[in-house]
């Protein structure tokens, strides 16, 4: 299962595949924590191409590849690659496909992941395509939910912030639907979840509520998934200025929220979660970031057939 496959979005996964990814990640987590030397990807080359800024996704993919014993080649600065000379994405990918055994890419254009996958023979992993999807983030999000909550289903999950441009919530919505969670989409009107996604999720059986009222949503939610307003996607900077700071999770809000609420955030945070929330025991976002390494180890090992 998953050998040779591309990871493009989260709508592609069956529950069986997700179980395999979660269990493989847990096994790698155990091995890393025990200090084992892991050699699953020895002799393999992983290409990590980032045409957009990143801290966690790129470094955790590189950490994952290194922990598996692979070698890594990286483009972290598009200005240093031939993209800056006007090379097409298709040509870049065809070239890198000749160097590496698996390709991981982040790119500012929605839909770029499909173009890249179409031009690669080796497995391709989407690490974020513009405002499209970010499947590996959603996988580490559910790995985190499983660890923090003990189960993946039966929760009420509030998605908060920029649901229009935030690719992580697009991807997570599909997984939450598969595991029968209720979702409350909390955003300013201008940043609502794209209708095509909401409709698609409802068609897959999702129970979704939409609101602008953060306090009310927090009072009934088991999980709050907070997102950054995606400044880089706005055409009009004034529009961003108007919407930034729309929703801020403060300690006082947590005190009025449902007891035991878990706070997740893909990070980076700007100001949407006050730093005095960080020592609340349900604030799981840094644990969430750490989990990314194990989930990405699982994905690299599974798509290369070396899990
Ligand atoms: C997210 C992304 O790049 O979409 N970051 C991440 O990968 N952890 C979220 C964001 O940038 O706001």
With a CB cutoff of 8 Å and minimum separation 6, the contacts of 175 are 10, 13, 18, 138, 139, 141, 142
Looking at residue 85, its pLDDT comes to 85
**How far apart, in whole angstroms, are the C-alpha atoms of residue 307 and residue 55?**
26
First to last CA, the chain: 10
CA-proximal residue: ligand 1, atom 6 (nearest): 266
Q: Is 151 exposed, middle or buried (0-12, 13-18, 19+ CB in 10 A)?
A: exposed
Ligand 1 pocket member 128 (CB < 6 A): yes
**How far apart, in whole angstroms, are the C-alpha atoms of residue 157 and residue 268?**
20
Looking at residue 36, its pLDDT comes to 97
**Closest by alpha carbon to 300, among 103, 73, 90?**
103
With 90 as the cut, is the pLDDT of residue 77 above it? no
**How far apart, in whole angstroms, are the C-alpha atoms of residue 257 and residue 88?**
49
**Closest by alpha carbon to 174, among 211, 137, 146?**
137
Neighbouring-strand partners of residue 75 = 49
pLDDT digits (tens, 9 = 90+) for 161-216: 999 999 999 999 999 999 999 999 999 999 999 999 999 999 999 999 999 999 99
Ligand 1 atom closest to the Cα of residue 292 is 8
pTM of the model: 0.97
Higher pLDDT, 77 or 28: 28
Residue bearing tokens 């698609």: 200
At residue 80 the predicted structure's pLDDT band, cuts being 50, 70 and 90, is confident
**How far apart are the CA of 166 and the centre of ligand 1, in A?**
8
**How far apart, in whole angstroms, are the C-alpha atoms of residue 83 and residue 253?**
45
What three-state secondary structure class fits 154? coil
pLDDT digits (tens, 9 = 90+) for 135-156: 999 999 999 999 999 999 999 9
Ligand 1 pocket member 134 (CB < 6 A): yes
**How far apart, in whole angstroms, are the C-alpha atoms of residue 245 and residue 270?**
9
Ligand 1 pocket member 137 (CB < 6 A): yes
Angle at 81 between CA 76 and CA 87, to 5 degrees: 130
Ligand 1 atom closest to the Cα of residue 106 is 3
Looking at residue 270, its pLDDT comes to 95
CA-proximal residue: ligand 1, atom 1 (nearest): 266
Ligand 1 pocket member 170 (CB < 6 A): no
Ligand 1 pocket member 164 (CB < 6 A): no
**How far apart, in whole angstroms, are the C-alpha atoms of residue 127 and residue 51?**
10
Ligand 1 pocket member 292 (CB < 6 A): no
**How far apart are the CA of 34 and the centre of ligand 1, in A?**
30
96 touches 270 (CB < 8 A): no
At residue 241 the predicted structure's pLDDT band, cuts being 50, 70 and 90, is very high
With 90 as the cut, is the pLDDT of residue 1 above it? yes
**How far apart are the CA of 33 and the centre of ligand 1, in A?**
26
Ligand 1 pocket member 228 (CB < 6 A): yes
φ/ψ (deg, to 5) at 302: -70, -45
* DSSP single-letter state for residue 147: H
**How far apart are the CA of 46 and the centre of ligand 1, in A?**
21
Looking at residue 22, its pLDDT comes to 98
Ligand 1 atom closest to the Cα of residue 289 is 8
Ligand 1 atom closest to the Cα of residue 167 is 4
CB atoms within 10 A of CB 209: 14
Looking at residue 297, its pLDDT comes to 98
Angle at 97 between CA 16 and CA 32, to 5 degrees: 50
Which of left, alpha, beta for 305 (phi over 0: left; psi -120 to 50: alpha)? left
Ligand 1 pocket member 296 (CB < 6 A): no
Ligand 1 pocket member 58 (CB < 6 A): no
Tell me what the mean pLDDT of segment 259-288 comes to. 97
Q: Distance between alpha carbon 216 and the CA centroid of its chain, in Å?
A: 26
Ligand 1 atom closest to the Cα of residue 266 is 8
Sign of CA dihedral 115, 110, 286, 159: negative
């Amino acid at each position: 299962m998953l050998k040779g496959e591309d990871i493009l979005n989260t709508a592609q996964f069956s529950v069986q595949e997700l179980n395999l990814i979660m269990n493989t990640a847990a096994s790698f987590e155990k091995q890393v924590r025990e200090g084992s030397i892991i050699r699953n990807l020895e002799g393999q080359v992983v290409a990590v191409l980032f045409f957009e800024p990143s801290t966690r996704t790129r470094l955790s993919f590189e950490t994952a590849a290194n922990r598996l014993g692979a070698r890594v080649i990286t483009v972290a600065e598009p200005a240093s690659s031939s993209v800056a000379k006007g090379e097409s994405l298709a040509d870049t990918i065809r070239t890198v496909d000749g160097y590496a055994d698996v390709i991981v890419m982040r790119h500012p254009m929605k839909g770029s992941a499909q173009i890249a996958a179409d031009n690669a023979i080796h497995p391709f992993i989407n690490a974020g395509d513009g405002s499209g999807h970010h499947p590996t983030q959603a996988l580490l999000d559910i790995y985190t939910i499983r660890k923090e909550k003990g189960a993946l289903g039966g929760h009420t999950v509030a998605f908060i912030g920029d649901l229009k441009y935030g690719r992580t919530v697009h991807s997570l919505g599909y997984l939450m639907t598969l595991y029968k969670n209720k979702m409350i989409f909390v955003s300013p009107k201008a940043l609502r979840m794209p209708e095509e996604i909401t409709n698609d999720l409802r068609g897959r059986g999702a129970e979704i509520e939409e609101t602008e009222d953060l306090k009310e949503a927090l009072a009934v939610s088991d999980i709050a998934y907070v997102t950054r307003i995606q400044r880089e996607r706005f055409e009009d900077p004034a529009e961003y200025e108007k919407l930034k700071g729309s929703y801020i999770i403060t300690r006082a809000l947590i005190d009025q929220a449902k007891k035991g609420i878990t706070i997740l955030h893909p990070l980076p945070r700007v100001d949407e979660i006050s730093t005095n929330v960080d020592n609340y025991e349900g604030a799981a976002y840094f644990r969430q970031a750490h989990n990314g390494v194990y989930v990405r180890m699982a994905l690299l090992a599974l798509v290369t057939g070396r899990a």
